[in-house]
Amino acid sequence: MGLFLAQANQKGTHFPIWGTCLGLEDLTRVAIDKLVLRPCNASDMALPLDFTPDFRKSRMFSNLPKYLQRALRTEPITYNAHRACLTPENFTAYGLDKIFKPLSTNVDRDGVTFISSLEGRLFPFYAVQFHPEKTNFEWERNDRHKYVPHGPDALSVSQYLGNFFVNEARKNLHKFATEEEEQSALIYNYPATFTQKHSAYTQMYIFDQPAQWPRRGRSRWGVRNSVLPVVPQRQRQVTIRRSGRLRPVHRAT
């Protein structure tokens, strides 16, 4: 899949990718085949964004309405739920700045600055460290999920980002060969299970068979015809647990 996406975009096919939270972490890991995150303390935090100076020149935020720009700058409406961070120092030191453009940063409870949104310089790849989807769809409140924002500005930001990526996907002209093939691929073929009583997630899709994933290769997106590894959505190789503490697999500088 990674090789296909890189080659498709290199050959002129618009094939966008979106990553949320772990998706941002995996996307940057895949790009340089290295884990360069550090432990941080940003779980259950709602924050405003600290935009980079030229964020308005980005594809992701170029059409952001001024009232949402103001809200994102001043209101705690982006929800963070992570204990690993990509710092600006590592972003530059490991060459990620050659592949991605940082669009915003944030600071965790311990004063660690981390990249909170970015986009690809060459490819239509986008990622945010926060969770825009929880604003709309996750309503469970417990000791670990107290601060998910559900106000009108938070909802509008979530909708804006959703609309942005859908419009990116519309630039791709791929389609199913038949209506029957399309219908067989719809998520509506599978029942959603209500899980809010036992989880922070309101609904889950539960499948009997696990996904099969190809072996991981080595790559760098700045090289043509590169082989990109495929990373399962829930596979977390960023950190390991030892004695109850999170430690980076690759130590950050």
**CA of 8: how far to CAs of 23, 143, 228, in Å?**
20, 44, 12
d(CA 10, CA 190): 34
Measured from the Cβ of residue 145, the count of other Cβ atoms closer than 10 Å reads 18
Tokens representing residue 99 in the block:
């592949």
Pairing of strands 78-85, 38-47: antiparallel
Q: Which of 148, 144, 138, 73 is nearest to 106 (CA)?
A: 73
Catalytic center residues: 21, 131
